[in-house]
Amino acid sequence: MNVKHLFPGLKNFKAYLNTASAGFLPLTALKRSIDFLSYLSDFKEGADSVDFLNKEILEKVLEEGAKLFRTNKENLTLTIQTTEGLRRLLLSLEPEKGGNIVSFDMEFPSLSCLLKSYAKRYGLELRVVKNRNGWYFIEDVEKLVDDNTFAVIGSSVQWISGQRMDLKELSRIAHKHGAWLIVDAVQHAGSLKLYPEKEGVDAFVAGGEKWLLNPSVGSGIMYICDELIEEASPIAGLLNMEPPVGEWSSWWGMPEKDPWGEFELRNDAGKLDFGGGLPYLLATTLWGALELINDVGIEKIEKHNTKLAGRIRDEALSLGLDIIGDENWESSAIITIQTGLGYEKEEEIYQQMLAEGIKVSHRGALGHYGIRASPHLYNDMDDVETFLNSLVESLSKL
């Protein structure tokens, strides 16, 4: 997979295996964003037209997203990273008081904060599936979901363990009880196949900062199934409404229009849009990244990423180290090694790697922690071996 030349930031590292924290911006995304800013600077025709920009930019981004996720572009829209999209989605739904939400105890804190406040606002019970040795099992989820469950909400790939959740099974359990399956896909989209309709996902939100190759941009994408689009009742903000005369441009100057008149919400995922002008700069940057991911092919990327992560797993186990999930781990681009040395000693190893120019992460929660590696399409086996050699050397000194 020869794409390293598209990621100039790699030159700053001896080996970068940390996409689960932040991905690299490719030159394809840089070009799209520069071209757009130049277009705005020159204020070319259509620069102030929502209709034109939606056609020339938004539609192109959604088409790339539809290709990546094997869905319809009408089921996709933009978000500002992950949490904003989840918040906007949840606030468009009105759960019955006395219901419950099911989630997982090692979720990223932004999700837990969101769900706690959401549950409090709507009088919902928050049921949290407990991990077993850092891993989740379907039978434990099934015990907590009942006919009063409003939604099962969690990450499709867990940020610490790298566990790839069985979405089909989660969907089966949720839908059996009339609940939604809503997914935080920030550690999934762009690294592994994610086909929401095939897997029964009702909605997912994925910020672009990690595997979608848009670090610190603020971009993101969200999928919403037809049933949830119909159910959603978002706050109207004009531009998430249907254009009164087929387009907005010709409507602004009409003298007979009533600003307090009746407008109809859109009937696609744009129904949940911001309501004002869309963040087109974020869209163009995401567009350039999605183009690259689709050009390489998500099936090829998944095979590549899991092969590199699998090599890390095999070598760690051969050294007598542990992996979070160990016998259950499979098919993920995140692998977390437990040295058994204690957090402080492990932190020394992590800091030594940083000093060498090897970038991974030291992550943990609820007593489970380790050195986390997360290879992506711009990595190769040399990067993996550089990391492993450094790990072996560090261990030998302790």
Helix axes 381-396, 298-318, angle to 10 degrees: 20
Of 284-293, 327-336, 379-388, give the lowest mean pLDDT range.
Answer: 327-336
Question: CATH second-level architecture of 4-17+297-396?
Answer: Alpha-Beta Complex (3.90)
Q: Is the pLDDT of residue 395 over 90?
A: no
Instruction: Give the confidence band of 303 by pLDDT, cuts at 50, 70, 90.
Output: very high
**Mind listing the pLDDT tens digit for each residue in 125-152?**
999 999 999 999 999 999 999 999 999 9
pLDDT digits (tens, 9 = 90+) for 221-243: 999 999 999 999 999 998 999 98
Which segment of 69-78, 327-336, 375-384 scores lowest on mean pLDDT? 327-336
What CA–CA distance (Å, rounded) separates 210 from 243? 35
Domain ranges of the chain: 4-17+297-396, 28-294
Mean pLDDT computed over 377-391: 97
Q: Is the pLDDT of residue 181 over 80?
A: yes
Does 173 have pLDDT greater than 80? yes
pLDDT of residue 79: 96
Looking at the predicted structure, is the pLDDT value of residue 1 above 90? no
Task: Please tell me the predicted confidence (pLDDT) of residue 247.
Answer: 87
Using CA atoms, how far apart are residues 101 and 124, in angstroms rounded to an integer? 7
Q: Find where tokens 């939100």 sit.
A: 205
Q: What is the mean pLDDT of the chain?
A: 95
DSSP for 305-329, written as a single string:
HHHHHHHHHHHHHHTT-EETTGGG-
Query: What was the pLDDT predicted at 246?
Result: 83
Which DSSP string corresponds to 372-389?
EEB--TT--HHHHHHHHH
- H-only helix segments in 77-166: 83-91, 109-122, 138-144
3 state SS of 54: helix
* 184 to 15, 168, 181: CA distances (angstroms): 28, 15, 10
Report the pLDDT value the prediction gives residue 233, as an integer from 0 to 100: 94
Give yes or no for residue 328 having a pLDDT over 80.
Answer: no
Tell me the percentage of the chain whose pLDDT exceeds 70: 100
pLDDT given for residue 2 in this prediction: 87
Contact (CB, 8 A) for 359 and 390: no
The domain 28-294: what is its CATH number?
3.40.640.10
Predicted local distance difference test score (pLDDT) of residue 275: 86
At 13-26, the pLDDT tens digits run 999 999 999 999 99
User: Does 383 or 275 have the greater pLDDT score?
Assistant: 383
Q: How confident is the model at residue 325 (pLDDT cuts 50, 70, 90)?
A: confident
Write the pLDDT tens digit of every residue in 84-99: 999 999 999 999 989 9
Residue 42 CB coordination number (10 Å): 9
Predicted confidence band of residue 245 (pLDDT cuts 50, 70, 90): confident
Rounded CA gap, 92 and 95, in Å? 10
Phi, psi of 103 (to 5 degrees): -140, -160
Confidence (pLDDT) at 46: 86
Helix 280-296 and helix 298-318, axial crossing angle in degrees, nearest 10:
70
The 8-class DSSP code of residue 57 comes to I
pLDDT at residue 105, rounded to an integer: 96
Q: Which residue has the higher pLDDT, 27 or 261?
A: 27
pLDDT of res. 276: 87
Between CA 182 and CA 96 the distance in angstroms is 17
